[in-house]
Structures are given as C-alpha cells and as structure tokens.
Amino acid sequence: MAVASTSLASQLSGPKSISSSSVCPTFSGLRRLDQLNSQSFSSTHSLFQQVHSNLRLSSSRKGCRGVVAMAGSGKFFVGGNWKCNGTTESISKLVSDLNSANLEPEVDVVVAPPFVYLSQVKNSLTDRIEISGQNSWVGKGGAFTGEISVEQLKDLGSKWVILGHSERRHIIGEDDQFIGKKAAYAVGEGLGVIACIGEKLEEREAGKTFDVCYQQLKAFADAVPSWDNIVIAYEPVWAIGTGKVATPEQAQEVHVAIRDWLKKNISAEVASKTRIIYGGSANASNSAELAKQEDIDGFLVGGASLKGPDFATIVNSVTSKKVAV
Ligand code: PGA
C-alpha cells in the first residue's frame, strides 16, 4: 500500500539533487549530482564527462567491470534481524540454507539471532556472515535481570549489535538518550552498532519525518565517541513488518537527508563513510529497485531474513547498483 510522500525534498536545506533521469536518461542510479556543485554544464558532452569522473569503478569482480552507483564510500551492508523467532530446528535449517547460498563478495553480511541461539548460530554458520546481538545493556553487566551485556555478546563472537530498533523504542519504551548511551558503550567496547531510526506513520503524515530522524540521530551523535563502527538503519515504523515498503524515492529522500545531516553536523568524511541502510518490509522482490538508489547502502531485513534464499537475494541486490558504462 502506498504511503503519501510528505514532499520531504522541499525541506532539504543542502544543495539540491538533480534527478539523474532528467539529465542522463540512459543511466540509472547515478551518483548524486550535487557533488558536481555549482558548475554549469554547457553541453551534454561535458556533463557526461563530469558524471563519469564521479563514478566509482568496481573492478574486484572479474569480468564485471561495472560502475557502482553509491553516494557513500562504504561497502554494501545487509543485516538479517531474526527478532524473537525460531527454534533450534528452524534455526538449524536457516543456517544450513545460508551456508549453501552464493553471496556476492562485495557485501558485509550480518545476522542477528535471538540471544539464546547465538552460540548455536556462531558454531554452525559460515564465517562469511557475521553475528549481531539484537540489543545490549547500557553499561557493564551485573545485577540487571534479563539483560545481555556487550561483554557477553563479544564473548559469544558477536561483532555487532542492533540498537534503537523501533520495537525497542515503541513497545519496550526505550528513549533517545538511553539508546544513545547504549550505543556509546557498545562502540566504546569495540562492537559495531546498527543504529536504527525512523518515523511513525502519524509523524510522516504530519510532515515530521525529518525532525524525528534528526532528533534520533542527534541522540546517537551526542553520545558516541566515534562513527567508525556505526551503520545507520533508516526504518520507517509504518513499513516494519507491515508489507508496506517505502517507495525507492521515499527511502532515497530520507537517506539523502540523513547523509546531509551527518555532513553538516559531524563531518563530510563521516557522511561519506557511514553506511545508511533501509529497513521496513524489504524483501527478495523489492530489494533490487531499492538498492538502485544511490544513498541506499544496504538493508536491515526482518521477516524476509528468516528465509535463507530470500535473504541471499537481498544480499545480492548489490548487483543492481552496477550500471552500464
Ligand atoms: P521487516 O522488519 O523486514 O519484517 O519489516 C525490518 C526490521 O524490523 O528491521
């Protein structure tokens, strides 16, 4: 079901994007043209030359020298959030499907099993795929019944933790500052953080998407010591587990805004390096179209990550970022 766009582009305060299709219809997913800044283009020829010089050549796959249409410089990243699903048996099947899947090499792949299955997964899953926790305690472990510490996640071989997921924010009641502190602790202890942000439907409809995302981003930014090991997951709450996926344009619009926010408030380097991934009913059928958007650096996948072949298809949607030259 389509959800109305709130014309977020009009709120963008940075240099305006120029639609690639309006200037260069034979290419899709070109690098954002505001990077070409205020140069004026006297002819189609010079435009092509300048666009070309802004593309990143990928030569790591033999026989597939394509152009990667990514605004950021980070590697494509796909995470599977298994949430509170699975049994010993079903997880064993999922792991076996993942172990036999062909995964594109140019992608960081991570899965987040329920805590109680972390060891099972770590001990049976290929090293090609890293492990993440779905949550972690705000500080060092101790007398905190029911919690899982960063130290314990690391002990079991986790390299990542998901923090700020909307189910933790809106069902469990975690607030921005608490989530920021959790992220700071995890990053400080060397765990990568998949930092989730996103607006509810009523916030989108009220035109507050950017405000909500910026506020949640700021809470992370105010707390974390560094952005080196953080991936931002933009997950509109109305799209999570609902089958209502954001359109590629809706997702791209917010991803651009997030990158611009990082550029203005942190640094140009962090804006370029930080992966901004999309989550919310991403699946094997829609991931290729979404991945073509140049500011979408991957996915955080819930439901579809419980099916090995579908998850592999989403991982391999990185290939749709390649455009002909
Ligand atoms: P979904 O969940 O893919 O099932 O919508 C995404 C998420 O919660 O990370």
**Helix%, strand%, coil% for the chain, nearest 5:** 45, 15, 40
Output the residue whose Cα is nearest ligand 1's atom 2: 302
d(CA 299, CA 79): 6
Domain 71-323: which topology?
TIM Barrel (3.20.20)
Closest CA to 176 of 215, 206, 140, 141: 215
pLDDT of 289 reads 96
Catalytic residue among 235, 253, 255, 294: 235
Per the annotation, the verdict on 235 as an active-site residue is yes
Closest CA to 70 of 39, 28, 105: 28
pLDDT of 228 reads 96
Could you tell me the pLDDT band of residue 62, with boundaries at 50, 70 and 90?
Answer: very low
Strands 56-58 and 192-197: unpaired
Task: Strand 322-323: give its sheet, edge to edge.
Answer: 56-58, 66-68, 322-323
Ligand 1 contacts CB of residue 280 (under 6 A): yes
Angle of CA points 295, 296, 297, to nearest 5°: 105
Query: If you count them, how many residues does the chain have?
Result: 325
pLDDT greater than 60 at residue 7: no
pLDDT of 128 reads 98
Q: How far is CA 168 from CA 163, 164, 174, 271, in A?
A: 8, 6, 6, 26
- The DSSP secondary structure of 192-215, one letter per residue, reads EEEEEE---HHHHHTT-HHHHHHH
Per residue in 290-314, pLDDT tens? Answer: 999 999 999 999 999 999 999 999 9
Could you tell me the pLDDT band of residue 322, with boundaries at 50, 70 and 90?
Answer: confident
pLDDT greater than 60 at residue 26: no
Q: Which residues lie below 8 Å from residue 272, measured CB to CB, with a gap of 6+?
A: 71, 72, 73, 74
Atom in ligand 1 nearest the alpha carbon of residue 83:
8
Q: Where do the structural domains in the chain lie, given as residue ranges?
A: 71-323
The pTM score is 0.82
Who has greater pLDDT, 106 or 7?
106
From the number of C-beta atoms within 10 Å of its C-beta (0-12, 13-18, 19+), residue 58 rates as middle
Ligand 1 contacts CB of residue 132 (under 6 A): no
Per residue in 219-249, pLDDT tens? Answer: 999 999 999 999 999 999 999 999 899 999 9
pLDDT of 70 reads 85
d(CA 298, CA 301): 10
Helix (H, G, I), strand (E, B) or coil at 232: strand
**What angle in degrees, to the nearest 10, is found between the helix axes of 248-265 and 209-223?**
40
pLDDT of 170 reads 96
Chain CA centroid to CA 233, Å: 4
Contact present, 69 and 324 (Cβ < 8 Å): no
Mutate to test the pocket of ligand 1, among 163, 169, 300 (most ligand atoms within 8 A of CB): 300
- Cβ neighbours, 10 Å, residue 14: 13
Per the annotation, the verdict on 165 as an active-site residue is yes
Contact present, 94 and 54 (Cβ < 8 Å): no
Q: Which amino acid is at 69?
A: A
Q: How far is the CA of 301 from the centre of ligand 1 (A)?
A: 5
Q: What is the DSSP-derived secondary structure letter of residue 321?
A: G
Ligand 1 contacts CB of residue 279 (under 6 A): yes
Average pLDDT, the chain: 84
Instruction: Name the residue with tokens 């930014």.
Output: 221
pLDDT greater than 70 at residue 122: yes
Q: How far is the CA of 240 from the centre of ligand 1 (A)?
A: 5
d(CA 283, CA 245): 9
